[in-house]
Structure 1
Amino acid sequence: MSHSGINEVMSLVAVVVAGLLALGIIGAILAVLSGRRGRSLPYIPQASLNTPAEQAFYSAVHRAVGAAALIACKVRIADVLQVRFRKRHGRDQRWWRYFRLISAKHVDLVVCEPRGGRILAAIELDDLSHRRRDRKRRDRFVDDAFASAGVPLLRFPASGRYDAREIQERLSPYLTTPKEGSVTCHNSRLTMR
């Protein structure tokens, strides 16, 4: 092979190596960037938020309250109740101890005022799992926590069918009828008409 042929081959090899190196660098940059935005984590979506029994119960509660209330599903207890006191100093663990007791638990439904979101009552749908000893202990704690906070917690047994009128009768003491056309923002103490 002539000297000019060797130079051409070397130039071609240099171009190919430079191209592969550039592709590798671009690939590494894209991998880093995609890892920051949406790295592959081991999560998949739930099939649905509610079980069929919970959905049937939700529908009955919705029929029972109509437009008089807003219903939220599977609400974390820490979003309904709060720990009464705050940390006094850095080593005070009381707040965290009580917060941890409610932070990973939820109630099935929370009934709120439709406009201001004020919590009117919480509802638990008790299926057969609530007969287990660990669930009974959890249920006693939840009952005590809600009673301590003064938030009504109603329990309904799970069944194949729910009577909206019965649910309405049990909820009626807690449902309020806000003034039509007014919305109160409690943080600003401002009423809009």
Structure 2
Amino acid sequence: MAEMLVLITAALVIVVFTLWQLKRMVSGGRRYPYIPQERLNTPTEQAFYTAVQRAVGTTVLIACKVRIADVLQVRFRQRHRRDQRWWHYFRLISSKHVDLVVCEPHGGRILAAIELDDRSHRRGDRQRRDRFVDDAFASAGVPLLRFTAGGRYDVQKIQERLAPYLTTSNEGSDTCPNTRSITS
């Protein structure tokens, strides 16, 4: 009877170990501490996105929370292994985002970027970040428009501010005008 109990226990251990190994193989053997965000945008950002969407209609594509390094690129590449200039400038933009990017619907050419400035943009660290972002976009010749966060958004005013940048290549201009950010 004792031998039978040992055999059953050993078989059970082998089955559990085998199932655990299979699960590790299927899941890649890694466990990361990630959980999903509840939503992409805050309620204020979503209200603004909806207003921008109403202002531009279906003429453009609007992307949310875009990494600046996906909008701008560093002009030069490394010349040799010890040349860290490219990495220095890339790191400055790689972890920063803009709230919205407006693109052509076909081809995705970037027409303008948009920042929604809430109360946090009054802090000194955010103001330094905002100055850097403004200068980076201006140096690249990509329009960056700033809007003040609020409870309601005037679709007509948004449309008027965006209108100069919504010319698609099919309608004329192939380039974005070089502008600095403008606060409304």
TM above 0.5, yes or no, is yes
Q: Which residue of 2 aligns with 1:16?
A: 8
Letter in 2 for 1:50: N
1:55 and 2:46 equivalent? yes
Greater helix proportion: 1
Q: Indicate the SS of the match to 1:68.
A: coil
Q: Distance in 1 between matches of 2:75 and 2:168?
A: 28
Query: Among 68, 81, 94, which residue is 1:90 paired with?
Result: 81
Deviation of residue 20 (structure 1)?
Answer: 3.7
The offset of 1:29, in angstroms, is 2.1
Mark the structure with the bigger radius of gyration: 1
CA separation of 1:116 and 1:12: change in aligned 2, threshold 3 A:
same
How many equivalent pairs are there?
Answer: 171
Task: Tell me, yes or no, if the aligned pair for 1:69 and 1:111 is still in contact at 8 Å.
Answer: yes
The residue aligned with 1:166 is 157
Query: Could you tell me which of 84, 98, 102 is aligned with 2:93?
Result: 102
Greater displacement, 170-179 / 106-115: 170-179
- TM-score, normalised on structure 1? 0.81
Matched to 1:36, the amino acid is: G
Unmatched segments (≥5 aa) in structure 1 = 1-8, 181-193
Q: Is the 8 A contact 1:76 1:103 kept in 2?
A: yes
Query: 2:56 matched to which residue of 1?
Result: 65
Shift of 1:44: 1.2
Kindly state the Cα deviation for residue 68 of structure 1 after the two structures are TM-superposed. Answer: 1.3
Instruction: Extract unaligned runs of 5+ from structure 2.
Output: 172-184
CA–CA separation in structure 2 for the residues paired with 1:165 and 1:144 = 28
Checking the alignment, whether the CA contact within 8 Å between 1:87 and 1:93 is kept in structure 2 is yes
| CA distance, structure 2, for counterparts of residue 64 and residue 18 of structure 1 | 69
Partner of 1:4: none
Residue in structure 2 matched with residue 30 of structure 1 by the alignment: 22
Which residue is 1:138 aligned to? 129
The alignment's TM-score, normalised by the length of structure 2, stands at 0.85
**1:155 matched to 2:146:** yes
**Aligned equivalents of 2:26, 2:11: Cα separation in 1:** 22
Two-structure CA RMSD over aligned residues (Å) = 2.0
Change in CA separation of 1:164 and 1:22 when aligned onto 2, cut-off 3 Å: same
CA contact (8 A) 1:113 1:120 kept: yes
Change (3 A) 1:17 1:132: closer
What is the aligned-residue identity percentage? 70
Corresponding position of 2:31: 40
Q: Which amino acid aligns with 2:60?
A: A
- Corresponding residue of 1:5: none
By how many angstroms is 1:151 displaced? 0.2
Is the Cα contact below 8 Å between 1:110 and 1:119 reproduced in 2? yes
